[in-house]
Amino acid sequence: MVTDTRPAGAAVNPDPAGPARGPRRRSLYSAQRRAGWILVLPAVFALSLVTIVPIGYGFYLSLTSYNPVERGGPRFHGLDGYLDVLASGEFWHAIWVTVQYSFGTLVLAVPAALGLALLVNGRFPGVALFRAVLYLPRVVPLVAVSMIWLWLYSHDGLFNYLLDLVGLPPVDFLTDEDSALASLIVMRAWKALGGSMIIFLAGLQGIPKSLLEAASVDGCGRWRTLRHVILPLLVPITTYVVVVDLIYLAQSFSEIYVLTSGGPLSSTTVLNMLIYNEAFEHYRLGNASAMAFLLFCLIFGLAYVSIRTMARGGRR
Amino acid sequence: MNARPRIGGTGPRRTVLAGAVALLVATPFVWMVSLAFKPKTEVFAYPPRLLPEQPTLDNFSYVWNSTNIPVAMTNSLIVAALTVAGNCVAATAAGYALARIDFRGSRLLFTAVLGSAMVPSIVQLIPLFLIVKGFPLAGGNDLFGQGGTGLLDSHVGLVLPILVQPLNIYLARQYFLDMPQELADAGRLDGAGELRIFWQIYLPLARPIVATIAILSFTGAWEDFLWPLVAVSSPEMQTLPLALSSFAGSGVTQYGPLMAGTFLAIVPVLVIFIAGQRHFVQGLGSGGVKG
């Protein structure tokens, strides 16, 4: 509430008498404009330095060949870097790994998150606690999560113990070429559950009660209401969850760097891992920048395709 | 209310089911805590037991005295505090201006903010590394950014890329958009200047969104990995995720101390999460015009 009625002083209001309408109006606008710029200036300065300039600079680098260890700056060579990258087998392999990793995680996490949301939607004793516990993996740093799963997957860890209990031989989850990617996917899906669950929960609580009552009056049972009323209404929110997760997952890096470093035999080398190695192990900054822009295109494409697919699914 | 389908039954039956699922999801955390308090001999014992037979704090004292984790924790706290401050001040102010002040270029600015949020961070990583390394007059650099390491290996360099985040500007803008114009008009009538209207009228009402921005900035900075990995080379500047990862990767993994370190890395986010929830609930009731 504004209780302070003192005149704010000449600097703030250059026209304390406030006589004619015209000049006062104009000075108000110019004061607003000035205030607007003052308020955005720090953010604009910081964002230009760390976002806008780097994007332009990065695009320039992607058109060059640049090894900072050798003398004499970036050498411009147009689209050659892009053609090099597109012709390399390891780039396409990394794309394939990225796609498997992203979609594998989504396929596990999204239905499970929906199930969890249905489970904790409603009132029953303990529901607040259960929601918090289920959300917990979401707030814990990914590297910390990786450390826990490093043990779970280790030779003497929980999963090998469980395998032993049912009489199966031990698996080198993270160091076997056949299981490393799948192991990472399971971990990442567990990490992704809580965030998606909360969004689904918000979606479920936004469904008008009248619709559910109508379904019940029409004799719909639980499962038919779920199948024909709730799920169709959740299509937009599912699209949102899928697209946002996809954008994140396609940029996965830290858990892979920490747990497998892209190995064994590059079976878990996602695109971000490849770009990191290209730039900071082999110092090929030009090629790495070209890959980064191609990843940008891939993410854009994936998001576009999922939005289109799900929009079509929703109309049916 | 009866119409709401209840998958998995109602009342106590549902509590049991949901409790079982929650316990399953929490299993990794339970084992982490258990290992953190186990003596060395029990960590590798087979079969693994959930409860330590002789619980001990040895792992924590080892982490505290013989690893880089305390130094890294201090660094992480500094970086997170600076990130929270930067976003709460600059992102909130920018969000307010973009929502409530009509000035030339504001539309274009907003589009630029949204657009820059969509570019994957790896695109900025390499140029950002070169910019931070070549920062003039820092870390032994001359006026043209040559000769030294610039802002690499410094707190400022670590914070710079996350100091103001587009998402936070967007959140603040959406929040301020929903606030009533009457407040500003009343302020102007009373002779308050534009900056004062922001500072004394709208900002106090925007506490919930500032809290949200603070929490998001803190957890984001706490978990940041790729940029610190690139920007830090000395152990004295490592952040917590870096220290955990290099501890795990050095020789035979010592799971006891590693889980103790992980436990310490999780505690601050847990505290923020629990404390933040209450703040959100409080904030819901206090915004807007009443009466």
Give the pLDDT confidence score for residue A300 in this predicted structure.
84
How many Å is the Cα radius of gyration of chain A? 27
Q: Give bridge partners of residue A64 from the DSSP assignment.
A: A76
Is residue B36 within a helix (H) or strand (E), and if so which, with residue range?
helix B11-36
CB contact set of A111 (below 8 Å; sequence gap of 6+): none
CB contact set of A50 (below 8 Å; sequence gap of 6+): B124, B128, B131, B160, B161, B163
Residues A134 and A271 in one domain: yes
| Chain B residues near residue A216 by CB distance under 8 angstroms | 2-3
CB contact set of B15 (below 8 Å; sequence gap of 6+): A124, A125, A126, A127
User: Residue range B36-65: average pLDDT?
Assistant: 91
* Domain harbouring A132, CATH code: 1.10.3720.10
Residues A50 and A184 in one domain: no
- Residue ending a domain, among A62, A94, A112, is A62
Nearest-CA neighbor of B267 among B81, B82, B73?
B73
Give the pLDDT confidence score for residue B2 in this predicted structure.
44
pLDDT for B7 beyond 60 = no
pLDDT for A298 beyond 80 = yes
Residues A25 and A124 in one domain: no
pLDDT for B283 beyond 90 = no
B48/A148: higher pLDDT? A148
Give the pLDDT confidence score for residue A166 in this predicted structure.
94
CB B272 within 8 A of CB B211: no
pLDDT for B287 beyond 60 = no
Residues A42 and A94 in one domain: no
- Which runs of consecutive H residues, i.e. helices, occur in B151-254? 155-159, 166-177, 182-189, 194-196, 203-205, 207-223, 226-231, 240-249
Residues A45 and A184 in one domain: no
Inform me whether the C-beta atom of residue B275 falls under 8 Å from chain A C-beta atoms: no
pLDDT for B47 beyond 70 = yes
Q: Tell me the domains of chain B and their CATH numbers.
A: 22-56 (no CATH), 57-286 (1.10.3720.10)
Q: Give bridge partners of residue B69 from the DSSP assignment.
A: none
**Given an 8 Å threshold on Cβ–Cβ distance, is A296 in contact with B96?**
no
C-beta neighbour count of B114 within 10 angstroms: 14
Inform me whether the C-beta atom of residue B20 falls under 8 Å from chain A C-beta atoms: no
Residues A52 and A123 in one domain: no
Give the pLDDT confidence score for residue B9 in this predicted structure.
55
User: Residue range B41-62: average pLDDT?
Assistant: 90
Is residue A76 within a helix (H) or strand (E), and if so which, with residue range?
strand A75-76
Angle of helix B240-249 versus helix B255-286 axis, rounded to 10: 160
Task: Provide the 3-class DSSP secondary structure of residue A250.
Answer: coil
pLDDT for B279 beyond 60 = no
In a domain, A271, yes or no: yes
Residues A184 and A241 in one domain: yes
- CA–CA distances in Å: residue B66 to residues A179, B69, B76: 34, 9, 18
B264/B2: higher pLDDT? B264
Residue with tokens 């009443």: B290
In a domain, A15, yes or no: no
State the DSSP string of B187-199: HHHTT--HHHIII
Give the pLDDT confidence score for residue A316 in this predicted structure.
46
Give the pLDDT confidence score for residue B103 in this predicted structure.
84
pLDDT band at B194 (very low <50, low <70, confident <90, very high): confident
Give the pLDDT confidence score for residue A206 in this predicted structure.
85
Inform me whether the C-beta atom of residue B12 falls under 8 Å from chain A C-beta atoms: yes
**Given an 8 Å threshold on Cβ–Cβ distance, is A141 in contact with B116?**
no
Nearest CB to A275 within list B109, B116, B122: B122
Return phi, psi of residue A76, to 5°.
Answer: -70, 130
Express each pLDDT in B54-110 by its tens digit: 999 999 999 999 999 999 999 999 999 999 999 999 999 999 999 998 888 888 989
Residues A119 and A41 in one domain: no
Residue type, B247: F
Q: What is the mean pLDDT of chain A?
A: 87
Give the pLDDT confidence score for residue B291 in this predicted structure.
28
pLDDT for B277 beyond 80 = no
CB A196 within 8 A of CB A113: yes
User: Residue range A107-135: average pLDDT?
Assistant: 91
CB B35 within 8 A of CB B259: yes
Distance CA A100, CA A270 (A): 9
Give the pLDDT confidence score for residue A86 in this predicted structure.
95
Distance CA B108, CA A282 (A): 39
In a domain, A11, yes or no: no
Q: Tokens in use for B194?
A: 């534009």
Q: Tokens in use for B137?
A: 């007059």
Whether the ω angle into residue A264 lies within 30 degrees of 0, i.e. cis, is: yes
A39: domain range?
Answer: 21-62
Residues A256 and A177 in one domain: yes
Q: Which of A47, A127, A149, A201 to mutate to test binding with chain B, by most B CBs within 10 Å of its CB? A: A47
Nearest CB to B116 within list A52, A126, A275: A52
Distance CA A215, CA A228 (A): 9
Residues A170 and A50 in one domain: no
CB A153 within 8 A of CB A173: yes
- CA–CA distances in Å: residue A107 to residues A192, A246, A249, B221, B280: 11, 11, 12, 29, 32
| Chain A residues near residue B103 by CB distance under 8 angstroms | 32-33, 36-37
pLDDT band at B188 (very low <50, low <70, confident <90, very high): confident
Angle at B126 between CA B121 and CA B129, to 5 degrees: 105
- Residue ending a domain, among A7, A34, A62, is A62
Return phi, psi of residue A242, to 5°.
Answer: -65, -45
Give the pLDDT confidence score for residue A23 in this predicted structure.
56
pLDDT for A269 beyond 50 = yes
How many Å is the Cα radius of gyration of chain B? 24
Q: Predicted ipTM?
A: 0.88
Nearest CB to B122 within list A4, A161, A251: A251
Nearest-CA neighbor of B113 among B127, B125, B99?
B99
Q: Which of the residue ranges A55-64, A198-207, A306-315, B189-198 would you say has the lowest mean pLDDT? A: A306-315
In a domain, A8, yes or no: no
Give the pLDDT confidence score for residue B210 in this predicted structure.
92
**Given an 8 Å threshold on Cβ–Cβ distance, is B262 in contact with A144?**
yes
Distance CA B119, CA B117 (A): 6
In a domain, A221, yes or no: yes
- Residue ending a domain, among A7, A30, A62, is A62
- Which runs of consecutive H residues, i.e. helices, occur in chain A? 21-47, 53-62, 80-87, 89-119, 127-139, 142-152, 158-165, 180-205, 209-217, 222-225, 231-233, 235-249, 254-259, 271-280, 285-315
pLDDT band at B10 (very low <50, low <70, confident <90, very high): low
B228/A303: higher pLDDT? B228
User: Residue range B126-145: average pLDDT?
Assistant: 86
Residues A298 and A150 in one domain: yes
pLDDT for B246 beyond 80 = yes
Angle of helix B11-36 versus helix A89-119 axis, rounded to 10: 130
Q: What is the mean pLDDT of chain B?
A: 87
In a domain, A70, yes or no: no
Express each pLDDT in A32-85 by its tens digit: 888 889 999 999 999 999 998 999 999 999 999 998 888 778 889 889 999 999
Looking at CA atoms only, how far is residue B209 from chain A in angstroms?
17
Nearest CB to B31 within list A28, A158, A272: A158
Give the pLDDT confidence score for residue A125 in this predicted structure.
87
Inform me whether the C-beta atom of residue B78 falls under 8 Å from chain A C-beta atoms: no
pLDDT for B140 beyond 80 = no
CB contact set of B80 (below 8 Å; sequence gap of 6+): B217, B218, B221, B222
Residues A109 and A249 in one domain: yes
Task: Tell me which DSSP letter residue B161 carries.
Answer: G
Q: Tokens in use for A41?
A: 């200036």
How many structural domains comprise chain A? Answer: 2
CB A256 within 8 A of CB A128: no
CB B178 within 8 A of CB B172: no
Distance CA B234, CA A98 (A): 31
In a domain, A72, yes or no: no
In a domain, A114, yes or no: yes
Rounded to 10 degrees, the C-alpha dihedral A249/A251/A255/A261 comes to: 130
CB contact set of A21 (below 8 Å; sequence gap of 6+): none
Express each pLDDT in A224-260 by its tens digit: 888 888 999 998 889 889 988 998 899 999 999 999 9
End-to-end CA distance of chain B: 33
User: Residue range A282-301: average pLDDT?
Assistant: 92
**Given an 8 Å threshold on Cβ–Cβ distance, is B96 in contact with A215?**
no
Distance CA B19, CA B67 (A): 37
Inform me whether the C-beta atom of residue B157 falls under 8 Å from chain A C-beta atoms: no
CB A274 within 8 A of CB A250: no
